[in-house]
Structure 1
Amino acid sequence: MAEVRARVQLKVGKNSTIPAEILSFSGLKDGVEHVALVFNQADKKQTTPLIRMHSECLTGDVFHSSRCDCGEQLNECIDKMHQQGGILLYLRQEGRGIGLYNKIDAYVLQSQGMNTYEANNHLGFEDDLRDFSDAVLMLNAMGLAKVTLMTNNPRKLKALTDAGITVEGLVATHAHVKDGNEAYLETKVKHGSHMLDLSKTKK
């Protein structure tokens, strides 16, 4: 495994520019161009840095889709890491691994009444095709064996611990409820066992 680093300025949400270091990797398992963004260089030496594994969501991250909470989670993560330091692993796993075109097909099925998992299954895919082994390789390349993980997804926690990464703490993201994604979030909790507290968002 090898990495290449470059300094960049980011502008996210309502923030002014945020400095970060972006890392590219060679020798990853699936050959996809995953990257890591390191925030607050002074905090790089923390023994258990804050880590988030964020799967790419073009519709949510870039175009702020009403169907999901991905863009809001990404902004929340970057805000927190800007304040206290951390490492964002941006993983190219669109649509839980089914790809952008299939994800749009799944959107059509969701419009017809299926939930996000049922739509993927109807298209011939499992609930979640993501493999986080490359995230483990990225952490290994950065010399990180102990982390604090920012997630609501138990699969991500299990993927790290099964690979020998010690997760010394969990930081939950907020429940980003908006018009159009209520059923999506409820399905993530009921079907995907996501650790989201939606009770405080009920009107």
Structure 2
Amino acid sequence: MTAEINNLVQTRIPTEHGEFVLHYFSNTIDDKEHVALVFGDVAHKMEVPVRIHSECFTGDVLGSRRCDCGDQLDKALQLISEHGFGVLIYLRQEGRGIGLLKKLQAYNLQDEGMDTVDANIHLGHRPDEREYTIAALMLEDLQIDSIQLITNNPNKIEQLQALGVKVEGRIAIEIESNCDNHAYLQTKAHKMDHFLTKTKK
């Protein structure tokens, strides 16, 4: 079956970083509610700043210090606003795609000494199970010609390019580590090849 999306609703969302328009998409791949926050006019533009942010309930909503997700979400909205136009796509891919239950189980394994990669593998998953077909379709629907991807993750760039997205460049979004997420960020740098310069080696 060919993957399809439908841009069902657009509504104004005022934030501390300015007024965005939220686009609600249905899709034929899963039953999840994926959305895009659009700032300014992005149709038919080149090098549009785009953040593809995977859901993190603990970080985005609760402000957990175990990861950098909530801080990255806020920083991405700020970067897009300062640029004058851009998009934040919010994908419902909790826990790098393994879901909230398994992510919380992985947290407990991390507290016992495993890193994030080993914990996911121990639970029978790949280190990162996210995929970006829906994001690519959303960018196409928004008529964006090319993007600058707001990310530290080289795999995300590669996956999007394989899906036909024209990625012109990368915008770094590195957050200062704290005592609770330092090991998490080290694992991103050492085992997942993320571009992280502030994390101590």
Q: What TM-score, normalized by structure 2, do the two folds share? A: 0.91
Moved more, 139-148 or 183-192: 139-148
2:155 alignment partner AA? R
Work out the CA distance in 1 between the residues paired with 2:75 and 2:130. Answer: 22
Q: Is the 8 A contact 2:43 2:142 kept in 1?
A: no
Equivalent in the alignment of 1:113: 113
Q: Once the 2 structures are TM-superposed, how far is the Cα of residue 145 of structure 1 from its aligned partner?
A: 3.4
Work out the CA distance in 1 between the residues paired with 2:50 and 2:41. Answer: 16
- 1:114-129 matches, within 5 Å, as 114-129=114-129
Work out the CA distance in 2 between the residues paired with 1:194 and 1:56. Answer: 18
1:79 alignment partner AA? Q
Q: Once the 2 structures are TM-superposed, how far is the Cα of residue 2 of structure 1 from its aligned partner?
A: 2.6
Work out the CA distance in 2 between the residues paired with 1:122 and 1:64. Answer: 26
Equivalent in the alignment of 1:103: 103
1:80 alignment partner AA? L
Work out the CA distance in 2 between the residues paired with 1:156 and 1:7. Answer: 28
Instruction: Please tell me whether residue 2 in structure 1 is matched to residue 1 in structure 2.
Output: no
2:170 alignment partner AA? L
Equivalent in the alignment of 1:76: 75
1:159 alignment partner AA? Q
Q: Is the 8 A contact 2:12 2:21 kept in 1?
A: yes
**Contiguous gaps of at least 5 residues in structure 2:** none
Work out the CA distance in 2 between the residues paired with 1:27 and 1:180. Answer: 36
SS in 1 for 2:50: strand
Q: Once the 2 structures are TM-superposed, how far is the Cα of residue 27 of structure 1 from its aligned partner?
A: 2.9
Q: What TM-score, normalized by structure 1, do the two folds share? A: 0.90
Work out the CA distance in 2 between the residues paired with 1:38 and 1:28. Answer: 22
Q: Once the 2 structures are TM-superposed, how far is the Cα of residue 88 of structure 1 from its aligned partner?
A: 0.1
Q: Is the 8 A contact 1:35 1:91 kept in 2?
A: yes
Q: How many residues align?
A: 195
1:49 alignment partner AA? V
Work out the CA distance in 2 between the residues paired with 1:28 and 1:20. Answer: 26
Q: Is the 8 A contact 2:26 2:34 kept in 1?
A: no
Q: Once the 2 structures are TM-superposed, how far is the Cα of residue 17 of structure 1 from its aligned partner?
A: 6.1
Work out the CA distance in 1 between the residues paired with 2:82 and 2:123. Answer: 41
Q: Once the 2 structures are TM-superposed, how far is the Cα of residue 43 of structure 1 from its aligned partner?
A: 5.6
Equivalent in the alignment of 1:133: 133
Q: Once the 2 structures are TM-superposed, how far is the Cα of residue 29 of structure 1 from its aligned partner?
A: 2.4
Q: Once the 2 structures are TM-superposed, how far is the Cα of residue 135 of structure 1 from its aligned partner?
A: 0.6
SS in 2 for 1:80: helix
Query: Equivalent pairs: percent with the same residue?
Result: 42
Residues 137 and 17 from structure 1, CA distance in 2 versus in 1: closer, same or farther, beyond 3 angstroms? closer
Q: Once the 2 structures are TM-superposed, how far is the Cα of residue 30 of structure 1 from its aligned partner?
A: 2.5
